[in-house]
Amino acid sequence: MSAAQKAALRAEALAARLRHGGDPAGITGHLTQALAPHRGRVLSGYRPMRGEADPLPAMQAHDGPLCLPVVTGRAVPLIFRAWRGGPLDPGPFGTWHPPESAPVLTPEVLIVPLAAFDRAGNRIGYGGGYYDRTLQILRAAGPVVAIGLAFASQELPQVPTEEFDQPLDLIVTDAGIVLPAH
Ligand SMILES: Nc1nc2c(c(=O)[nH]1)N(C=O)[C@@H](CNc1ccc(C(=O)N[C@@H](CCC(=O)O)C(=O)O)cc1)CN2
Ligand SMILES: Nc1ncnc2c1ncn2[C@@H]1O[C@H](COP(=O)(O)OP(=O)(O)OP(=O)(O)O)[C@@H](O)[C@H]1O
Can you spell out the DSSP letters for 72-122? -STTS--EEEE-SS---EE-GGG-EE--TTSPB---SEEEE--SEE-TTS-
Is 2's pLDDT higher than 90?
no
Output the CA 124–ligand 2 centroid distance in Å: 9
Would you list the domain boundaries of the chain?
Answer: 3-178
Query: Is 160 close to ligand 2, i.e. is its CB under 6 Å away?
Result: no
The topology under which CATH files domain 3-178 is Rossmann fold (3.40.50)
Is 165's pLDDT higher than 90?
yes
Which ipTM was obtained for this model? 0.89
Which of 54, 89, 126 should be mutated for ligand 1, with most atoms under 8 A from CB?
126
Q: Kindly state the helix (H) or strand (E) to which residue 175 belongs, with its residue range.
A: none
Residue with CA nearest ligand 2 atom 15 = 129
Output the CA 168–ligand 2 centroid distance in Å: 14
Q: Among candidates 11, 29, 46, which has minimal Cα distance to 116?
A: 11
Q: How confident is the model at residue 46 (pLDDT cuts 50, 70, 90)?
A: very high
Is 115's pLDDT higher than 90?
yes
Q: How high does pLDDT run on average in the chain?
A: 96
- Quick check: 107 and 43 in contact, CB under 8 A? yes
Q: State the CB neighbour count (10 A cutoff) for residue 107.
A: 23
